[in-house]
Structure 1
Amino acid sequence: MFSINAQENSPKKSHKAESFLKGTFILTVASLVVKVIGSLNWIFVSRVLGGEGIGLYQMAFPIYFLALTVSSAGVPVAISIITAERVALKDILGARRIFRISMCFMFCTGLFFSLLTYFGAQWLIDWQFVRDPRAYYSIVALAPAVFFVTILASSRGYLQGWQRMTPTAVSQIVEQIFRVITMILFAQLLLPYGLEFAAAGASLGALAGAVTGVIVLVYFHWKLDRDIAKTYGNELKPVVDSSTSSVWKIIRRIFVLALPVSAASIMLPIVSNLDLIIVPSRLEVAGYSVHEATELFGYLTGMAVPLVNLSTILTASLAVSIVPAISEARTLKDTKRCFNQTAAAMRISNFICFPAFVTVLMLAVPISSLIYNAPGAGPAVWVSSFSIVLLGLHQVTTGVLQGLGHPTIPMINMVIAAVAKVILNWTLTAQPSLGIMGAAWATVADIGIAAIINLYFLYKYINYKMEIGQLLKTIGAAAIMAAVIHFGYEFLMLEIGSNALATFGSLFVGMFVYIVVLILIGGIMEADIERIPMIGAPSIRLFKKLGILKH
C-alpha cells in the first residue's frame, strides 16, 4: 500500500522513507495535542471572559492573523526547500549561510509588521475598521507576537529542510501550553481592571507562546550543529553555486517561493468572507428566514468544516514532511525517488482519508448529535464528508508541487477553484431543495477542482498517475467498512440505545474490518505496516496473534 515496487516491499527498510513517515507521524501527534489543548483552553477562557470578552479578543485576532500571514506565511516552505537543496548537495556551509540570511531578512520583516500593527491599532479604531474601541488593547498586546512568530517560522523552515520534524512538533506543543497558561492567567488577573484589559491579557498568550517556541528551537539548533560536527568534522567545504552566491539572490529566491504560499494562505480568509456574504443571503432567497439562514451557516462553517479539517490532520502533516523530501530528490535529479515518494504519499493519503470519509458519511447525524448536540447539522456534515478524500489529495499534491519548485501552481489552482465555488454557492444555495447542502457541495467542488488540476501538473512534471489497482482495493475495503458501520450502528442502537456507545462501537469494528480486508486483498503488506512509526511493529504482532498475518 505505501510502497511502489517490490524492492521497497522487501523487509529491507528505506531510511529516507522511514524518515519521511516518521516526520509525518510526529507532526500529526503534535497537531492532535495542540488541538486538544486549544479546545480545553477556550472552555476556560470563555468562562473568564464571557461572550463579550471573547468578542473583543476575536476583533483583534484577524488583524494579528493578517499581519502574520503577510510577514511569515510561506516562509517555512521556502526556507525548507532551499535548505533541503543545499543539504542534498552536501553544502552544509551554504545551508547555514541561507539560514543566517533568512533570519536577518525575517527579523526585519517581522519587526516592520509588528511595529505596523502596534502603531496602526489606533488608526484601525479611528477609521472604524474595528468597531469597538476597547479592542485597541488586544491589538497592541498581539503586536509583539508578530515579530517572534515570524522568527519562529524561519527557524522551523530551516530545521524542516534538514527533514527534522521533531523540533517543529515540540515547539508547537510548548508554544501552545505557554500560550494557554498565559491566556488564562492574565485574563483572570486583569479582569478586575476591566473587560478590555482582560481580553488584552488573553492576547498576551500569543507572545508568551512564540517566545517559548523560539527558546525551544534554540536548543534544537544547537543539537543540529553538534550532529553536523560529529558527521562532517572539519571537512566542511563551500560548494560554488550561482543561485546562492549572492545575498540578494537568496532573498529573492525566498520571496519568490514564499509569495505564492502566502497568497494561497490569504485566499482562505478571502473565501471565508465571500461565504459569509453569499451563503446566508442565498439561503434567504431559498426561502429561509434570517434566523434559519444564520443557523444553517453555522452548521456548515462551525461544525461540518472543522470535522473535515480534523479528518485530514495526518495529510496536512504529510504535506509538510513531503516538501523537503521532494526538494532533496529534485536537487539530486533523482526523478525515480520523486515519483516513489509522491506515490507513497498519495497512497497514505487514500489509506487514511477513505475510512475517515466513510465514518463521517455513515455517521453524519450521530456524530453531529454526539459532538455538537446538533442533529440538524447532519445534512451539511454528510455532504462535506465527500471533501475529506479530495482535501487529503489537495494537501499532498500541493506539498509535492512546492517541493518540485512550483509553489505558484497550487496558488493559481486555488484561485480558479475559488471562482468556481463562488458561482456554485450563488446558484446551488438558492435552490430550495438544496439550501445549505448546496453550499456544502460548492465547497466539495472547490477542493476537488484544485486537487484535480494539481494532479494534472504532477503528471506533467513527474509523469505521476493515480494507481488505479491500489485505489480500487482501498475503495473496496472502505465500502465494506461502510456497511459494517451502518448495520453495526443500527444493531447497537437497538441493543444498547446509547448514541455514543453505538457510534464508537460501530466505528471501532468498522476500522478493524477495513484494515483486515486491506491485508487480505493485498491492499497493504506486512512491510508497509512495519514502516509505520511507533505503531507498525505492535500492529504486526497483534495481527499475527489473531491469525490475520502468518508467523
Structure 2
Amino acid sequence: MSKDVTKENASVNEKSSRDKMVSGSAWMTGGSILSRLLGVLYIIPWMAWMGTQDVANSANALYMVGYTPYALFLNIATAGVPSAIAKQVSYYNALGEYKISREIYKKGLQVMAITGIVAAILMYMIAPFIAANSPTASVSDGTQVIRSLSWALLIIPCMSVTRGFIQGHHTMAPSAISQFIEQLGRVIFMLAAVYLIRVVSDGSVVNAVSASTFGAFIGAVFSIGYLLYVIWRKKPELDINVANSRNKISVSTNEIFKSIIKTAIPFIIIGSGITFFQLIDQFTFAPIMNAVSDMTAKQIENNYAIAAGNANKLIMVVISLAGSMAITSVPLIADLLARNKMADVRAQMSDSIQLFFFIMLPASIGMAVVAKPLYTVVYGYSAFGASILQLSSYMSIFLGLFVLLGSTLQAANQTKRALVAMAVGLVVKLVVQYPLLAIAGTHGMLLSNIVGFGATTYLMLRAIYKMTHLNIGFLLRRLLLMAIITAAMALVVFIVQQGMYRLFEPKDRIGSLINMGVSASIGGFVYLYAALKTRLADRLLGSRVAGLRRKLRIK
C-alpha cells in the first residue's frame, strides 16, 4: 500500500514540475516574445527617421558598437543574479526556511547596488578604448554612445535581484510583465527622441543614437517601479511565510554574501557567453576583413551592422524562447535537488530539452525560410541581408541550446563542466574565425559561431548525460519526429512563398509583409496540426491541449 502511495505521489510531483515548467515557460516566453517583437518593430520607423538606408545602417552599426560592450557590463553586473537568487530562494523555500530567503533578497540588493555603480563607472571610463577598437568611423561618436548606456547600469542590477526573488517563488508572470514594461518604456522614449532629433530638429545621427541607447535607463525605471509594486502587493503573503519559517538552519550574513557571489559568478560568466562571442567579432571582424578582402572601411562597417545588428535583432526573438525556458527550469531543478529527487531531475531535464526543440526548431527553421520577405519588411530589400538572416536563423538553434543547457547545468550544480564547455567553444571560435572569414566573407563570422557553440553544446549535453543518464534513444526518437514535422512545415512554407512571389514583387515592403504573413500562418498551422495529430503536443504540454484538438476536430 505504501509503495502505491509513493508512486502516486511521485506521479503527482512529476506532473506538478511539468505543469510549472510549461506554465512558467508560457509566461516567460510570452513576455520575451512581446519584448523582442517591440525591439524588432521599432527598427522600421527608427531607421526611416534616421535618413537614407546607408545613414540608417551606419546608425545601427554605431548602436551595436555601444550595445555589445554594454551587454557584457550588464551581464557582469546582473546576468547571474536573477537565476542565482531564484535558485537560492527556491532552495531555502523548499526547506521551509523563508526567513533566509528574505535575507538573501536583502543582501542581494546591497551587493547589486555596489556592482551596478562599479560597472557604470568602469564602462564610462573605458568607453574611448572600446570605441577605438570597434568597427566605427568615429571614436568620439562611439564613446558618446557607449557612455550614454552606462546610466542604465545604476538601476538594472537591483531590478534583476527583485526579478530573481519573485522567480524563486515559482511566480513567473511579474517577471514577464516587467520585461514587457521595460521594453515598452524604452521603445517609446527612443522613438520619440529620434523623431524630435532627426525629423523635427534635423540633429546629428550620433545624438539620435545616444538618445536611443539612453532609453535603456528609462525602461529600467518603469520596470523596477512595477516590480516594487508587485513586492508590495505580495508583502502580506511573504510576511506570513517568514512568520511560519522553520528556522532550523542558521546562515550568517557573510555566508549569505558568499552564497550569492559563489552562485552568481558562474551564472554571470555563462550568461555572458553569447556576448563574449560577439565581442570577438567586434574586435576582430574589421582587422581580418581588411587583411583578407579589398572591402572599404564603409563596406566593412555596413556588413558588420547587417550581420551583428540587423540579423541579430531578429534571431534574438527566437533565442529568447530558450532563455524563457532556462529561467523557468532553474528554480524547479534547484527545488528538486534540495529534496534529493534525482529521478525527477532527470525527467525535468529531458522535458526541458524536448520542449526547447519543440518550440525552437519550427521558430528558427521557419525564420530561415521566410528570411527574404522578413528582412525586406524590417530593413528593406537586400539579398545579402536576407542570406545573412537565413544563416543566422540556423545559428540561433545553437545559441538557444547554449542558453538552456548552460543554465540547466548550473542549476544542477555542474558549474565547472558548463564553464569548461564554454571556454572550449570560445577557443574553437577564435581558431576558426580567420580561415572562415577568409573563405566565406561576412558569412564566416556566423559559421565560426555555429562551430564554436556546436562544440560547447556537445560538451554540455555530454555532461548532462553523465550526471543524469538521460535516455538518449528516447530523446533522439522525439527529436526525429520534431525534425520530420518541421521539415514538412518548411516545405509547405517554401511552396506557398514561391506562389506568393508571383503575386507580389519581392522588393516591395507591403507585398513582402503579406507574403510573410500568409506563408508563416499556413506553416504554423501545419506544424500545430501535425503536432496534435501525432500526439507530440500532448506528451510535451500535457492534457491541456486536448481541448484544442477537439475544437480542431483532430482525432
Which TM class, normalised by the smaller chain length? 0.7 to 0.9
Q: Which digits, 9 at most, give the CA deviation of each residue in 1:367-418, with x for residues without a partner?
A: 4444431122344334333333333322221121121123343333222112
| Stretch deviating more after TM superposition (444-453 or 106-115) | 106-115
Q: Give the direction of change, closer, same or farther, for the CA distance of 1:72–1:313 in structure 2 (3 Å limit).
A: closer
C-alpha displacement at 1:308, in angstroms? 3.0
Report the AA paired with residue 264 of structure 1: I
Q: Give the direction of change, closer, same or farther, for the CA distance of 1:523–1:11 in structure 2 (3 Å limit).
A: farther
Q: Give the direction of change, closer, same or farther, for the CA distance of 1:147–1:460 in structure 2 (3 Å limit).
A: same
**1:525 lines up with 2:538 in the alignment:** yes
C-alpha displacement at 1:62, in angstroms? 5.9
Q: Could you tell me how far apart the structure 2 residues matched to 1:294 and 1:528 are?
A: 45
Partner of 1:18: 19
C-alpha displacement at 1:315, in angstroms? 1.6
C-alpha displacement at 1:187, in angstroms? 6.7
State whether residues 36 and 317 of structure 2, in contact with CA within 8 Å, keep that contact through their aligned partners in structure 1: no
Aligned residues: 529
Partner of 1:239: 248
Q: Which digits, 9 at most, give the CA deviation of each residue in 1:439-469, with x for residues without a partner?
A: 3322211221111111011111122244122
Report the AA paired with residue 367 of structure 2: V
Report the AA paired with residue 515 of structure 1: L
Match for residue 155 of structure 1 among 155, 162, 173: 162
State whether residues 387 and 448 of structure 1, in contact with CA within 8 Å, keep that contact through their aligned partners in structure 2: no
State whether residues 316 and 396 of structure 1, in contact with CA within 8 Å, keep that contact through their aligned partners in structure 2: yes
| Stretch deviating more after TM superposition (124-133 or 460-469) | 124-133
**1:335 lines up with 2:342 in the alignment:** yes
Q: Could you tell me how far apart the structure 1 residues matched to 2:339 and 2:434 are?
A: 47
Q: Which digits, 9 at most, give the CA deviation of each residue in 1:459-491, with x for residues without a partner?
A: 111222441221121122122223222333334
**1:504 lines up with 2:512 in the alignment:** no
Q: Could you tell me how far apart the structure 1 residues matched to 2:131 and 2:322 are?
A: 41
Match for residue 113 of structure 2 among 107, 122, 128: 107
Partner of 1:461: 467
State whether residues 131 and 140 of structure 2, in contact with CA within 8 Å, keep that contact through their aligned partners in structure 1: no
Q: Give the direction of change, closer, same or farther, for the CA distance of 1:296–1:336 in structure 2 (3 Å limit).
A: same
Report the AA paired with residue 115 of structure 2: T
**1:449 lines up with 2:455 in the alignment:** yes
Match for residue 88 of structure 1 among 86, 90, 94: 94
Match for residue 437 of structure 2 among 413, 429, 435: 429
Partner of 1:3: none
CA-based RMSD? 3.9
Q: Could you tell me how far apart the structure 2 residues matched to 1:417 and 1:206 are?
A: 30
C-alpha displacement at 1:318, in angstroms? 0.6
Q: Which digits, 9 at most, give the CA deviation of each residue in 1:288-330, with x for residues without a partner?
A: 5336655554443334444432223222211111111111111
Q: Could you tell me how far apart the structure 1 residues matched to 2:526 and 2:266 are?
A: 42
* Correspondences of 1:131-146 after superposition (within 5 Å): 142-146=149-153
* Correspondences of 1:186-335 after superposition (within 5 Å): 204-229=214-239, 232=241, 234-240=243-249, 245-279=251-285, 282=288, 289-290=295-296, 296-335=303-342
TM-score (norm 1): 0.82
TM-score (norm 2): 0.82
Q: Give the direction of change, closer, same or farther, for the CA distance of 1:61–1:500 in structure 2 (3 Å limit).
A: closer
Equivalent position SS for 1:14: helix
Q: Give the direction of change, closer, same or farther, for the CA distance of 1:219–1:483 in structure 2 (3 Å limit).
A: same
**1:353 lines up with 2:360 in the alignment:** yes
* Correspondences of 1:404-419 after superposition (within 5 Å): 404-419=412-427
Q: Could you tell me how far apart the structure 1 residues matched to 2:531 and 2:489 are?
A: 11
C-alpha displacement at 1:354, in angstroms? 1.8
Match for residue 440 of structure 1 among 438, 446, 454: 446
Q: Could you tell me how far apart the structure 1 residues matched to 2:252 and 2:150 are?
A: 32
Q: Which digits, 9 at most, give the CA deviation of each residue in 1:178-230, with x for residues without a partner?
A: 33444455677889798687766555533333233222111222233322456
Q: Could you tell me how far apart the structure 1 residues matched to 2:59 and 2:444 are?
A: 34
State whether residues 20 and 163 of structure 1, in contact with CA within 8 Å, keep that contact through their aligned partners in structure 2: no
Partner of 2:3: none
Report the AA paired with residue 397 of structure 2: V
Q: Give the direction of change, closer, same or farther, for the CA distance of 1:415–1:501 in structure 2 (3 Å limit).
A: same
Q: Could you tell me how far apart the structure 2 residues matched to 1:282 and 1:113 are?
A: 30
